[in-house]
């Protein structure tokens, strides 16, 4: 009998469950390694070489190099682990979270100061809220190729 | 005998720690938030406990994906503030209470809650930010702290019901400890927030305030809320709120005693990506 996963229809959201965790083990453990200053230095000196020391997939390595956090999460990353990359880059949690929405940093900050993103239309896939796939990317940025 | 005198609930946003560490607490952005804790700091001075039992979650700091304990109790004598990637926070080391912690572990495990016992770990912002919010920035924290880490990183996290029942077992354990200690239990994390994906930035003030109402008046009913309601309504990281039910389950009324008194209630949006909620509930003497 399949496991009950009632969270799969929440738009713009990936729940870090056992399946995601299994996919992302090496990616997340690479992130953990960045909690040591010497590893941060080695990573910054040659990102590709440092990533090649880890049994990650090529897609995971490319997502890290591109700092594409949505892609990292799709490939098994978890935000609390990925935050170590942000810390290495000197970025705050707000900058990291905002980068996944397509909004500019200022747009995202203004949304938060204005009370945050509304849950209306964003509870289930198929509604019309701003986090739904058909309204991505958000903000005024030009759509990225292939996004 | 030891007793639980009060429970404290608060969010533990890392940016709050950064604001404290960088001296930004009087800036326009942060001032309303810290104002909401002024009462609490005074209250802590007049209601200083002997021990704080602090329920929080580790954010991929002490626990990587190598080991993911659902419930972990710290029985060490001391804990150092962790380097979470930005360098360790400049806050005092956390002094533990190994005797009471071991006593609680033994009692709670015998009550069928399979705790992981931790004798060595660093503590992250999940634990130190609540201490700052309630105690300010002293040279040393005012009392020993028992860290109690709950997995809310990898799904499934423990259910609200499980957390609420665990709180009851913790109360029983504390009350069977011979020394007459005044113990506070703190539940931290939340409120609504989502840190990932195109839905990042979600805040649900109505839901959060209903959660606070029910935590005060109908905790058993609130404990029945399924995970999916937290995720859908309060964001993927809003699930941290199950930890508040551990603290609430340890209050006297749940075991047939008198209702708690609401000493303080505060709610503010935003702190970085997050809605901040805060409650102090006192057990009548």
Which has more pLDDT, B85 or A136?
Answer: A136
What Cα–Cα distance (Å) separates residue A83 from each residue in A35, A95, B214, B217?
Answer: 10, 10, 33, 37
Q: Are residues A86 and A118 in the same domain?
A: no
Q: Is residue B284 part of a domain?
A: no
pLDDT for residue A57 is more than 60: yes
- Residue B205: the pLDDT is 98
Q: Is residue A22 part of a domain?
A: yes
Q: Is B27 on the interface with A (CB under 8 A)?
A: no
Q: Are residues A87 and A106 in the same domain?
A: no
Q: Is residue A8 part of a domain?
A: no
Q: Is residue B281 part of a domain?
A: no
Question: Is A95 in contact with A87 (CB distance < 8 Å)?
Answer: no
- Residue A147: the pLDDT is 44
Q: Is the peptide bond before B191 cis (omega within 30 degrees of 0)?
A: yes
The DSSP code for A147 is: -
**Number of independent structural domains in chain B:** 1
Q: Is residue B171 part of a domain?
A: yes
**Number of independent structural domains in chain A:** 2
Q: Are residues A55 and A84 in the same domain?
A: yes
Whether A117 sits inside 8 A of B202 (CB atoms) is yes
Q: Is residue A19 part of a domain?
A: yes
- Residue B285: the pLDDT is 82
Q: Is residue B280 part of a domain?
A: no
- What CATH number should be reported for the domain holding residue B150? 3.40.830.10
Can you say whether residue B182 is alpha, beta or left, with left for phi > 0 and alpha for psi between -120 and 50 degrees?
beta
Q: Is B202 on the interface with A (CB under 8 A)?
A: yes
Q: Are residues A86 and A35 in the same domain?
A: yes
Q: Is residue B133 part of a domain?
A: yes
Structural domain boundaries, residue A126: 101-139
Q: Is residue B106 part of a domain?
A: yes
Which has more pLDDT, B181 or A37?
Answer: B181
* B103 counts as catalytic: no
Q: Are residues A59 and A84 in the same domain?
A: yes
pLDDT in tens, B2-54: 999 999 999 999 999 999 999 999 999 999 999 999 999 999 999 999 999 99
pLDDT in tens, B242-273: 999 999 999 999 999 999 999 999 999 999 99
Q: Are residues A36 and A59 in the same domain?
A: yes
Q: Is residue A1 part of a domain?
A: no
Q: Are residues A19 and A84 in the same domain?
A: yes
Q: Is residue A70 part of a domain?
A: yes
pLDDT in tens, B154-177: 999 999 999 999 999 999 999 999
- Residue B86: the pLDDT is 77
The DSSP code for A9 is: G
- What CATH number should be reported for the domain holding residue A25? 1.10.700.10
Q: Are residues A122 and A81 in the same domain?
A: no
Q: Is residue B282 part of a domain?
A: no
For chain B, the three-class secondary structure string (H helix, E strand, C coil) is CCEEEEEEEECCCHHHHHHHHCCCCCCCCCHHHHHCCHHHHHHHHHCCCCEEEEEECCCCCCCCCCCCCCEEEECCCEECECECCCCECCCCCEECCHHHHHHHHHHHHHCCCCCEEECCCCECHHHHHHHHHHHCCCCCCCCCEEEEEECCCCCCCCCHHHHHHHHHHHHHHHHCCCCCCEEEEEEECCCCCCCCCCCCCECCHHHHHHHHHHHHHCHHHHHCCCHHHHHHHHCHHHHHHHHHHHHHHCCHHHHCCCCCEEEEEEEEEEECCEEEEEEEEECCC
Which of B59, B103, B193, B264 is labelled catalytic?
A: B193
Q: Are residues A82 and A106 in the same domain?
A: no
pLDDT for residue A145 is more than 60: no
Average pLDDT estimate for B190-207:
97
pLDDT in tens, A105-114: 999 999 999 9
Residue of A nearest to B195 (CA): A97
Helix (H, G, I), strand (E, B) or coil at A15: coil
What Cα–Cα distance (Å) separates residue A116 from each residue in A11, A55, A107?
Answer: 16, 38, 11
Q: Are residues A83 and A120 in the same domain?
A: no
Q: Are residues A45 and A109 in the same domain?
A: no
Residues of A in contact with B196 (CB under 8 A): 13-14, 69, 73, 79, 97, 100
Closest CA to A50 of A84, A17, A18, A96: A84
Phi/psi at A5 (5° precision): -125, 75
Q: Are residues A77 and A113 in the same domain?
A: no
Whether A83 sits inside 8 A of B60 (CB atoms) is yes
Q: ipTM of this model? A: 0.94
Residues of B in contact with A72 (CB under 8 A): none
Q: Is residue B95 part of a domain?
A: yes
Q: pTM here?
A: 0.96
Structural domain boundaries, residue B182: 3-273
Which of B12, B97, B103, B125 is labelled catalytic?
A: B125
Q: What integer best gives the mean pLDDT of chain B?
A: 97
Question: Is A10 in contact with B197 (CB distance < 8 Å)?
Answer: no
- Residue A140: the pLDDT is 55
């Amino acid at each position: 009998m399949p496991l009950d996963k009632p969270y799969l229809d929440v738009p713009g959201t990936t729940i870090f469950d056992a399946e995601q965790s299994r996919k992302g083990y090496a990616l997340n453990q690479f992130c953990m390694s960045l909690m040591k200053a010497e590893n941060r230095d080695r990573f910054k000196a040659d990102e590709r070489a440092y990533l090649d020391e880890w049994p990650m997939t090529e897609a995971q390595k490319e997502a890290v190099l591109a700092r594409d956090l949505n892609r990292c999460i799709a490939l098994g990353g978890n935000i609390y682990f990925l935050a170590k990359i942000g810390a290495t880059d000197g970025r705050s949690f707000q900058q990291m979270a905002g980068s996944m929405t397509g909004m500019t940093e200022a747009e995202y900050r203004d949304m938060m100061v204005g009370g945050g993103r509304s849950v209306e239309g964003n509870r289930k896939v198929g509604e019309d809220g701003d986090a739904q796939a058909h309204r991505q990317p958000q903000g005024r940025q030009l759509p990225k190729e292939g996004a | 005998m030891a007793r639980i005198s009060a429970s404290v609930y608060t969010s533990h946003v890392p940016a709050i720690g950064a604001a404290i560490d960088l001296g930004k607490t009087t800036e326009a952005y942060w001032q309303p938030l810290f104002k909401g804790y002024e009462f609490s700091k005074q209250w802590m001075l007049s209601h200083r406990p002997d021990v704080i039992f602090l329920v929080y979650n580790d954010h991929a700091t002490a626990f990587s994906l190598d080991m993911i304990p659902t419930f972990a109790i710290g029985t060490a004598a001391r804990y150092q503030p962790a380097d979470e990637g930005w360098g360790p926070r400049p806050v005092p080391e956390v002094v533990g209470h190994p005797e009471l912690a071991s006593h609680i572990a033994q009692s709670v495990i015998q009550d069928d809650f399979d705790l992981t016992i931790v004798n060595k770990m660093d503590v992250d912002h999940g634990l130190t930010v609540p201490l700052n919010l309630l105690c300010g920035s002293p040279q040393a924290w005012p009392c020993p702290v028992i860290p109690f880490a709950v997995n809310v990183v990898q799904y499934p996290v423990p259910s609200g019901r499980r957390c609420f029942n665990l709180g009851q077992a913790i109360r029983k354990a504390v009350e069977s400890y011979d020394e007459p200690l005044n113990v506070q239990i703190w539940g931290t994390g939340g409120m609504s927030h989502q840190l990932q994906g195109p839905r990042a930035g979600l805040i649900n003030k109505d839901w959060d305030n209903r959660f606070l109402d029910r935590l005060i008046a109908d905790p058993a009913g609130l404990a029945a809320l399924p995970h999916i309601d937290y995720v859908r309504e309060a964001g993927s990281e809003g699930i941290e709120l199950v930890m508040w039910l551990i603290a609430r389950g340890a209050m006297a009324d749940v075991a047939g005693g008198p209702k708690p008194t609401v000493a303080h209630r505060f709610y503010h949006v935003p702190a970085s990506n997050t809605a901040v909620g805060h409650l102090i509930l006192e057990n009548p003497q």
